[in-house]
Structures are given as structure tokens and as C-alpha cells.
Chain A
């Protein structure tokens, strides 16, 4: 289903997550690594105003599958271009112009290239939005009292309540020890 229409009310748990706010990206990476690799939490997410390299390994994010989506889209563009040129000029309404063949790969190359690139670009953008669940105009994280500072200069580590090891008090105290400036329980 499209992310826009996704039903967000499935989760009955009144608590969405515990959110910890950090002042420095290094602290976020360290805390994330400790939570994931040290203590075995799996439903983690990290929020930052810019991409932090190393955070995905730290909190155990799998690599992006976007490349495969783009490859399929680009291939579709290429095949589509060949088919379109053959169908329109070679099959549906053949016209001899300048004695040139009705269909040949040589004069199809420019349009093949352009449609490959065009569909790859659409695949990259729409695929990225789909994988990220965008557009989406509501998210439980918006209930965080300092939502918005993480697009400015703060760094958030989120431990979701769906984590099997989730326990509000324990998570809060651990995150506090790991250098979080504040921790907060955020409602779903």
C-alpha cells in the first residue's frame, strides 16, 4: 500500500518509543553502537540533520536495496525504448524516409540511452521515497516535545516500544549513562 495511506493505528501500545537527545554526532554513534551491539536492542532509529557515516553499522541498519530498484527501472526504460521505436516506426506505420531501414539499433541508441537514464532517475527518486515511507505527514516522533531540533543541530536515538527488550525505565537509565542530554517517553 502507498505510504500515504498506511494505517498508523495498528500499534495498540500507547508508548511509541523512548527518545534520547544528544548534542554531538560522536555520542550518538557511540550510544547507538552500545545499544545495538552491546545490549542487543534491535528496534533502533537515529535522527540527525545530516547523514552520519558509520551510524548504519552502529545501529544495525541493513544496506539500501535502492540500487536494484534503479537497475530494474533503467532496464525497463531501455527495453521500452527499443519496443517503442520498433512498434511505431517499424511495425505500426512504416514509412521509408531517406532510404533508411525501418528499424535498426544504430539510430535507436540516443533514445535508448535517454529513456534508460530517465527511468533510472524516476526509479531512484520514487524508490527512495517508497523505501523511506514518504510522503507521510504524520509520525509518532512528532509527539516528541523537542521535535524539529534534530533537523537543526541535535541528534536523536530512538528505542521503539516494539523492541522485545523494551523496558521504559531501563532504556531511559541506560541512555542517560551513555551521555544523552535528555530522554523522553513519546506516545504513539
Chain B
């Protein structure tokens, strides 16, 4: 999901550069015949280039490394052309103990280095705003506020996709209600943090005594974009509060609808932050009202198409659940139970072996 969303998001800044075929020289420190000057590393926009491209690259590596053993499993079960394609993609993986040892180490390291990337990528995106001098953007709360918002909307988007995939691919026993419930608890917590951030922004705008800050925030809530602001508050702050109820947060249809609300709310958050700070400048003669053009809207809907196409292609051709991880988990549990007994008593004599359990799932 990360990869496909980054692919969609990349479209906007790339087109925004006007000449995407030259964008590499402007964005990255590449020696080139067009510009003698280098990118300015004092600018958060350049930090953002590094943050987003690192995030995308590490996510791609993480995703691919996770797939290698499963691609080998598919290779050994496929015939003909498919077997050849999976054979090349799995890089000749054989699953020896040496290989697994290095593999698990690599996977652990990738997980460890990509976790802080979640924090860094959203903090640095928020620096793009926070280091500017525009009222409404120039605030130190932005990094934690953006990180909380990212986790909030990320979990909601995963719920949206997972609820459908779980139903369509019969994954109810692998992605259980307990998983979904815990994700909804994260949505509740981060949604509440996001709501607290909105309140803090308003408090600081008043407490700073800065007339421009005060104006921007009063204008944000009661000006021409009030409809967008209150849609955002309803979707992001009010709607996750339903998850205090255990009945609602374990109801699949309810969480699906609510996750859509959160997705809409987080879209409005970006719209409100960008639109309300820009539409009324320091000079009232340059005030205006933003209306998206047909090109804006079609680009936006196009990213929906791109995302859904990539996601469905992934579900169609590649394993959505890591096969080797599930096998390992089942085997370790069964080995554990064989030695120590289950939670319900000692190990039964005629307990099915791991392969039998796995066979049961296959036939």
C-alpha cells in the first residue's frame, strides 16, 4: 500500500516541476550540463527529496525481500512461463539454513531502519510548511502533528483495503477481528492526538498575540472554507470517538464506513492547511477563492485508478499474506505445544504434525 500510494503521490510534485525530464537535476545533487549551481541543503524542500525517495526505496526493498521466499514457493509450484518468471524474480532462493539466517538478519535490520523512517518522512514533510513564514504553517507543532495524522490515516486506509481483501480472499482466520480491533484502537488514539493538535494550534494562535495568526485561524474555522474545516473536524476528531465502544470497533461494516470517513477527513486536513493559509494573503488585493480545475480533479481521480490497479494486480499475482511467515508461526506453535502442551492441557498423544495442519489448509 505504501509503495502504490507513493507512486500516486510522486505524480504531483513531478508534474509540478513543469519539465519532469529535467527534474532530477533540480532535485538531486547530480553534475549536469544545464545548471552550475547545486541544490540548497539548507532548504527543507531538498531534505524532503531525500526523505521521500529514501522512504520509497526502503519500502520497495523491504517489500521485495519479504516476497523472495514466497516467490520461490510459487516458482516450485508453477509450470511453464510462470515458473520461469517466478524463478528469475525469486533470484534462485533455496531456503537453506544459511540463507534463512542471513535473510532473517536482513529483514530485522530493514524493519529496524524503516521504523524511524515513518517519523522522519512525515516530520520532514511538515518542515516544508513549518520553516515558511506563512501564518498557519509556521508552527513547531507540525512534526508530531503530521506523524500522528500519518499513522491515523495510514491505519484507516489499511482497514479500508484489508476489510475488502479479507472478505474477497477468505482471510478471516489469518486477519482476525482481534487484529482489526487493535488497529481501530490505534485509530482512536491517533485521531484523538490529531484533535488535540487542532486545539493546540488554535490556542497558540490566540496566546501568541500575533494578529496574523489569529486572523488565519478564525478565518479557517469561520471564513469561506469553514465547510472544509468542519468536515475535517467531524471526520478526524468526532468520528473515531465511536471506537470507544467495543461493539462498534469489532463490527466490520462499521469500521469500513468509519475508515472511509477518516480517509476523507485526512484529505480535507491537507486541503485546509494549504488552502486556508494561501487564499488570503497579507495583501487583501490578492485574496481569492480556490476552485479546482478539471485537470486538478482528473489528476486526483487518476491516482485512484492507478492505486486500485496496482493494488488489485498485486492481490492477483502475488501472495497478500507472507506464506513462509504463516508456516513458521504454525510450526513453532505446534512444536511448542508438542513439548509444553497447549493452554488447554498437556500435549495430546495423537496431535497432528505441522505438515498435516498445513495440508489441511491446502486441500
Binding site for B on A (CB under 8 A): 23-26, 45-53, 55-56, 59, 61, 63-64, 66-67, 70, 84-85, 88-89, 92-93, 95, 97-98, 100, 107-108, 110-111, 113-115, 117-118, 120-122, 124-125, 127-129, 131-132, 134-139, 141, 147-154, 158
A135 touches B120 (CB 8 A): no
Binary interface encoding of chain B residues 45-75 relative to chain A, with 1 for a CB under 8 A from any of its CBs, else 0: 0110011001001100110110001001101
CB of B77 closer than 8 Å to a CB of A: yes
* Cβ-defined contact, A89 with B41, below 8 A: yes
List residues of B whose CB falls within 8 A of some A CB: 29, 36-44, 46-47, 50-51, 54, 57-58, 61-62, 64-65, 69, 72-73, 75-77, 87-88, 91-106, 109-110, 113-114, 116-117, 120, 124, 127, 323-325, 327-328, 331-332, 335, 338, 353-355, 358-359
- Enumerate chain B residues within 8 angstroms of A141, measured Cβ to Cβ: 94
- Bound CA span A47–B101, Å: 12
Q: Are B69 and A151 in contact (CB under 8 A)?
A: yes
Whether the Cβ atoms of A98 and B42 lie closer than 8 Å is yes
CB distance from B239 to the nearest CB of A (A): 34
Roughly how many angstroms separate A67 CA and B108 CA in the complex, as a whole number? 10
Whole-angstrom CA separation of A121 from B62 in the bound complex? 8
Closest to A63 in B: B101
B110 and A114 form a contact (CB under 8 A)? no
Which of A49, A117, A129 interacts with B95 by CB under 8 Å? Answer: A49
- Give Cα distance in the complex from A117 to B110, angstroms: 9
Contacts of A117 in B (CB 8 A): 54, 58, 113-114, 116-117, 120
Known: A88-B39, A137-B87. 5 other contacts (CB 8 A): A26-B338, A51-B103, A67-B105, A110-B50, A127-B102
Residues of B within 8 A of A129 (CB): 91
Interface contacts (Cβ under 8 Å), in number, total: 195
Q: Is the CB of B92 within 8 A of A47?
A: no
* A151 B76 Cβ-Cβ under 8 A: yes
CA distance A111 to B42 in the complex (A): 10
Cβ of B328 and Cβ of A51 under 8 Å apart? yes
From B41, B51, B103, B109, A132 is in contact (CB under 8 Å) with B103
- Contact yes or no, B117 A93, CB < 8 A: no
Q: Are B327 and A97 in contact (CB under 8 A)?
A: no
Given contacts A48-B95, A50-B325, contact A125 B101 (CB under 8 A): no
Q: Nearest chain B CB to A27's CB is how many angstroms away?
A: 9
Chain A residues with CB under 8 A of B97: 45-48, 52, 55-56, 59, 61
